[in-house]
Every structure is written in structure tokens, then in C-alpha cells.
Amino acid sequence: MGKTIIISNRLPVQLQISNGTINAIPSVGGLATGMKSVHSGDESLWIGWSGLTDEETPPELEGAIDQALAEHGCAKVKLNAQEIDGFYFGFSNRTVWPLFHYFLEYSEFELDFWNTYKAVNQKFADAIIEQSDDDDTIWVHDYQLMLVPQMVREKRPETTIGFFLHIPFPSYEIFRTLPWREEVLEGLLGSDLIGFHTYDYERHFLSSVRRLLGLDVSFNEIYLDNRVIKVDSFPMGIDYKKFRDAAIAHDAKGEEDKSDLQKRLDSHKASSPDSKLILSIDRLDYSKGIAKRINAFEYFLNKYPEYKEKVRLIILAVPSRSNVPQYQLLKREIDELVGRINGELSTVNWTPIWYFYRSLPFASLIDLYTSSDIAWLTPLRDGMNLVAKERIHCHKNGQDRGAYFE
């Protein structure tokens, strides 16, 4: 039986170079966590970019990097800074991401971005072909690699290929505005199985295939070149046991074992027993609706002033794509909103919003999940919001104190 080959833009490890030595540290969250059980077997290989560009990689450490990655069942695709700029920050995050999340006003249709995207997808396909055999199962992930399935199919027509999209697939009316719409669909149709998080995304994809390529579509099957391509929805989950056990261990801690963050949260609750903590955790992304959430909180406090000093909003905004112009503007907007609202509404004993622009370690997330009274997660568009699932499972006996999400 062949091995399972997982392909994604980034590998599930982070490389650290220090004093000429290489350390590979497993990543947490997102795809790395979701695919951990699949990748844990001996017959599995994960192919992706290491996170270091060619310019950042000392030539004398190439062998050590390959060895460090191999110890985690990984193999790298080499990319230079120009390729990352055009492929990842360009076409992936300035064309596909805003378009697929219905932000057409942010979508940039640059031919140079598209050409780099094609070239990098070919690099990934070549790496797969080099590392795979016909009896392997190839599983390609996400919007950065939508051309890879067909590129691999051309060289390995008998290989089983799957593709999973971790973001929304837009309606036909939105998708057809992409100048390279047919090429993207044809790239995806190199797969034998195409997965989405929800039925709506599956339906939008099938509609685009039928209307743009004129192919026969029957229920969730597409007929192409004597092949049947199945399309289905597979909602992604989380490591339930990890979060449940962490929450139980958290509740069992004595005062001396609590983190500084937990002690501060406990102190706040003790000083205001009737007050409530509302938690908002997202990547800093315009698809998450963070600014609208802050405006709604301000509106609530002004309309119902009796809740002032009784509720506090904790916002954790995880930095993301900070060199993309729209994200820079969004951060400035949120910084100014939080500053203005806190300046106008704060009292001597109360600040309405605690705002953190950073990533937090896992233990601190558990502190926030278990201490909050409400999780306020309202993305404008999302593939599958895993933060909502994480927070719900961090409450013992399955008794959630409120999690609101789309």
C-alpha cells in the first residue's frame, strides 16, 4: 500500500536557525493541528514551503534543514523572495483571498501575480512527482495550490488525488469575475475528490463548473474525460481531547500554579463579581468583521448605559499578512477605534476594551476560554471557524456559558 502525501503552502513545522544549528518546532493551530492524526503514521509525507526563502537559507545548512524536516516526515519546496511576493502575498492573498470572501473591492487582478502563481504551483507539482509513486494518495490543501492537482494528473494519471479548500468558495456571480476562472477550475478538476467545509461552498463550485466549463454535473459528481470527480462537504473539527483535558487541568490548578494572565482575570472578577467578560479572538483580517464588532459594542454601551462598568470586551487580534496594504489599513482602523472608545467611555475603575495585538501561547488561550462569559465570534465570511469549537469544549461538563458565531 502506498503512502499518503499531504501538500500545503507551509509545512507543519517552524525552522529556527541559531548559531549554525537548525531546530524544527511543530506548529500549532489550523491545518497543522487538523491534519496531525493523518500525518502521524509512518507512511506519510508532508510537502510544503519551509518558511525560509532561498535568500534566508545559508547554503551550508541545506543538508541540515532537509534532515531536520525529514525527522518530522516533511520535505521542502524551495522558493525565493520574489516568488513568495508574487505567489503568496500577491495572487493568493491579494486576488484569491478577497475574491473568495466576497471583498471584490480589494481584489487585484495582476498578470504578474498570476504568472508567478502558476510557476510556483508547478514547483509544488514537480516536488510531488519526484517524491511519489503511482500507488500513493496525494492530498492537496487550500487556495494557494489550486492548479497542482491537474499538473500532477498530467504526469501521474493513475494516482489518487484529493483537494480540500479551507476557505469559502464564492457564488458563480463572484467567481466569474476572476480573469483566470477556467484555468483555476481545470486545475481543481485534476482531483478525484474535492472537499469543502459546507454544502453552500460545494454548491457554488458545482454551479461554476457547469456554467463556465459546460461539464456534466449529476448531484455531487462531475464527468470529465472518462473520469468521475466527486465533490462533497467535510466540516473540519478540532482536537477535542486536547482542549478538554487542558480545560480540566486548568480548573484543577492551585493559586500558586496559575499564570499571571489568569491571576489578572481572577482579580478583575473578584473586584466586580457581577461583571461579564466578552471574548473576541480572530486573526487580524477584514473577513472577520472585527471593526464592525467594536462599533456594535460601542453602540450597545451607548444605548444601554446601565451596562457600563459591568461588561468588558477582550479582543485578541493575531497578526496576519502585515505587509499587505489592506491589512495595514485594517490595523490602523482598529487601533484608532479602540483608542477612541476607551478614551470616551473609560472610568477610573473600568476600561471597556482590553485589546491585544499578538499571538498567545496555548496555556493563555485556555485561560481566556475558561474565564470568559461569552465568546463573540462573528466573521463576515469564514471557511470553518475553529475558535468557536475550541472555546465551547473548554467548559467542563459540556455546559457552555455562551458562544455566538456565524
SS3 (DSSP) at 132: coil
DSSP state of 400: -
142, 282, 367, 382: which is the annotated catalytic residue?
Answer: 382
What is the DSSP pairing of strand 311-318 with strand 227-233? unpaired
Q: Which of 235, 233, 135, 134 is nearest to 193 (CA)?
A: 233
C-alpha span between 139 and 152 (Å, rounded): 11
Residue 327, amino acid: Y
C-alpha span between 213 and 222 (Å, rounded): 11
156-169: buried (b, 16+ CB within 10 Å) or exposed (e) per residue? beebbbbbbbbbbb
How far is the CA of 139 from the CAs of 44, 159, 161, 223, in angstroms?
A: 11, 11, 6, 20
**Residue 255 CA, distance from chain mean position:** 35
66, 85, 166, 266: which is the annotated catalytic residue?
Answer: 166
Residue 382 appears among annotated catalytic residues: yes
User: Residue 221: CB partners within 8 Å, gap ≥ 6?
Assistant: 228, 229, 230, 231
Q: Is 34 exposed, middle or buried (0-12, 13-18, 19+ CB in 10 A)?
A: buried
What is the DSSP pairing of strand 21-26 with strand 13-18? antiparallel
136 phi and psi angles, rounded to 5 deg: -80, 160
For 347, the grid coordinates are 472610568
For 89, the grid coordinates are 502575498
Q: Is 360 exposed, middle or buried (0-12, 13-18, 19+ CB in 10 A)?
A: middle
How far is the CA of 314 from the CAs of 163, 277, 389, 402, in angstroms?
A: 36, 7, 18, 15
Q: Which residues carry out catalysis?
A: 166, 382
